[in-house]
Amino acid sequence: MSHKTILRALAGETLPEPPIWMMRQAGRYLPEYRATREKAGDFLSLCYTPDLAAEVSLQPIRRYGFDAAILFADILLVPQALGADLWFETGEGPRLSVISGPGDLRRLKGRDDIHDRLAPVYETVRILARELPSAVTLIGFAGAPWTVASYMIAGRGTPDQGPAHALKAADRATFAALIDLLTGATIDYLSAQVEAGAEVVKLFDSWAGSLKGRDFDDFALAPAKAIIAALKARHPGLPVIAFPREAGPRYAGFARATGADCIALDSAVSPAWAAENVQTDGCVQGNLDPRHLVEGGPGLEAGVRAICDAFAGGPHIFNLGHGITPDADPANVERMIRAVRG
């Protein structure tokens, strides 16, 4: 039996109290993150400088003693490795060169050509594997094909993924070819992270909720299933966390259909519903609303308690329903951890 509580929960064990980490735990709410980012110059330089990227992954472990560290990188490094232009507009978010048809797709590189560009990320993983305390689990990650494609097609973040839905409707073959390219690249990228020392991988499908019906099956479920099957064939026993954010009722059955060991839940899902409909298939992760870490107050402890109580009967990893926001108070993170750890 592992001494790492995250691995035990992922293996299906019900623990006396849930292990805990936090999406975006390395981020702008922490003064030490802002200082290291300043030193790097900009966000992408931080991602591609292994010593500094490892440093910001370690900061929340030192400050709070979380049970897992997540690699510091971004889901949009994969499109960049495939040849897309990528930059971040200050205060606005990511910008990419746009994929609007078969010609743009043909100009991208193949899945085998991504590793030179991504080598610094693998080096970050190696540093973390060496430097993390022995009880802390190292999580690697990638964006799921649909979410990454939605940024590549629009060239930016969009509230409703409109451009990606439009390409899917107008030219399903080109759209499906992009999803296939990303599926292959994601398998190789995550596999390289595991070879470098990641013990768990998480697939972020932040915009899964805008896929409905057959589209959800084809472009959220099927790629996740293919990625997980290929990873587990290469790395037997590798635990995988899937995060089909805002999937609503489609959270039920997602683990069984894809082979994921754990389902990360957003805050729109009621813990009582998820205990009955998702946790019955294995570990769940989540799902405190990140706004509690801005607001604090008695709502924070009450929110933590409701989640821990609802999931106490099965395997659970405590986390937020989405990333912590830059305006969160670091002291509220401490209060959250104290509430989880009784």
Nearer to ligand CP3, 228 or 310 (CB): 228
List residues with catalytic annotation.
24, 28, 37, 74, 151
**Rule CB under 6 A: is residue 43 a binding residue for ligand CP3?**
yes
**Rule CB under 6 A: is residue 26 a binding residue for ligand CP3?**
yes
**Rule CB under 6 A: is residue 28 a binding residue for ligand CP3?**
yes
**Rule CB under 6 A: is residue 120 a binding residue for ligand CP3?**
no
* Of the candidate residues 29, 66, 72, 175, the single one contacting ligand CP3 (CB under 6 A): 72
* Of the candidate residues 74, 104, 123, 215, the single one contacting ligand CP3 (CB under 6 A): 74
**Rule CB under 6 A: is residue 50 a binding residue for ligand CP3?**
no
Cα 107 to Cα 30, 84, 102: the distances in Å are: 39, 9, 9
118: which 2 tokens? 């991504």
For residue 287, is the peptide bond before it cis, meaning its omega torsion is within 30 degrees of 0? yes
* Of the candidate residues 52, 58, 75, 185, the single one contacting ligand CP3 (CB under 6 A): 75
**Rule CB under 6 A: is residue 94 a binding residue for ligand CP3?**
yes
3-state SS of 163-202 is HHHHHHHHCHHHHHHHHHHHHHHHHHHHHHHHHHCCCEEE
Nearer to ligand CP3, 197 or 314 (CB): 197
* C-alpha 219, offset from chain centre: 17
Which parts of 159-218 interact with ligand CP3 (CB under 6 A)? 204, 206
**Rule CB under 6 A: is residue 25 a binding residue for ligand CP3?**
yes
Q: Where are the alpha helices (DSSP H) in the chain?
A: 5-10, 31-40, 43-47, 50-64, 77-81, 102-106, 115-131, 145-154, 162-170, 172-196, 213-216, 222-234, 254-258, 271-277, 292-295, 298-310, 330-340
Which residues are at the interface with ligand CP3 (CB under 6 A)?
A: 23-28, 37, 43, 70, 72, 74-76, 93-94, 141, 143, 157, 204, 206, 323
